[in-house]
Amino acid sequence: MKIARVAWSGAIHEATDAGGGALRLADGRVVHEDAVVWLPPLRPRTIFALGLNYADHARELAFGAQAEPLVFLKGPNALVGHRAQTRRPADATFMHYECELAVVIGRRARRVRRSEAYDYVAGYTVANDYAIRDYLENWYRPNLRVKNRDGCTALGPWLVERADLPDPMRLALRTTVNGKLTQQGNTRDMIADVPFLIEYLSGFMTLDAGDLILTGTPAGVADVRPGDEVVTEIEGVGRLVNYIVGDDVFGRG
């Protein structure tokens, strides 16, 4: 099942895909997808993000494979939903998208064995985790402004339940900017795969229902500018649309 969270008619609703561009709200009403405001499909407790988790992306940025995963935390205010706007500050010279598979934890997990990791997954969604390279302190300690700016991470549109996606490690990823293909990859090329990440993280801290793991992006990142439409897609998970805007939209012009 594909599940979304939307705002419509003065309230927030859980919704499912009714087909034909329509959504079925939890109370049974059916509305067109253009009539709602799409929200992130969940409200995470803790957000983990992976850096340099695809070898081709590490090479693209002139870094080799890491001895263990490069993981950092994100705040919930970084998240926006499908069809939302993300601000590019006027002082940015290189801001790029990152198409990522996001793993949603389904129940409390502590010292999970790799062989049992998928038992702790509720489902998957698409993340577009923008980065502004100008703000980076170094590659091993991402600056807060790079990855925790308000609205810098689009998420959605759907949370796809684990049962509907039995093998998340063979999914095609792609990004288009204004309809032009700019990034392609496959989750099979992750350095640290989903079971490893759950085993690794739960080995030193407790994961809980609603925690979110952003698993990194493949090579092919490119600079984006105000006015651009950025679409990040993952096979079987969804098509996430985001729009880049300037400071003036946020009253900072």
Question: What is the mean predicted confidence (pLDDT) over 207-231?
Answer: 96
Question: What is the mean predicted confidence (pLDDT) over 83-107?
Answer: 97
Question: What is the mean predicted confidence (pLDDT) over 130-151?
Answer: 81
Instruction: Enumerate domains of the chain plus CATH numbers.
Output: 1-38 (2.30.30.370), 40-250 (3.90.850.10)
pLDDT at 253 over 60: no
Would you state the pLDDT for residue 184? 96
209/228 Cα distance (integer angstroms) = 35
Tokens of 161: 């339940």
Residue 224 C-alpha from the chain's centroid: 17
DSSP lists the bridge partners of residue 212 as: 47, 104
Strand ranges (E), 91-187: 95-96, 99-105, 121-129, 131-132, 153-161, 172-177, 180-186
Would you state the pLDDT for residue 57? 47
Q: For the segment 48-80, what is each residue's pLDDT rounded down to a tens digit? A: 999 889 876 455 554 555 668 889 999 999 999
Would you state the pLDDT for residue 168? 97
Q: Which residues contact 139 (CB under 8 A, 6 or more apart)?
A: 51, 52, 61, 63, 70
- With 0-12 / 13-18 / 19 or more C-beta atoms within 10 angstroms meaning exposed / middle / buried, residue 20 is exposed
pLDDT at 132 over 80: yes
pTM of structure? 0.93
Q: For the segment 157-207, what is each residue's pLDDT rounded down to a tens digit? A: 999 999 999 899 999 999 999 999 999 999 999 999 999 999 999 999 999
Q: From the CA atom positions of the chain, what is the Rg in Å? A: 17
Question: What is the mean predicted confidence (pLDDT) over 23-36?
Answer: 97
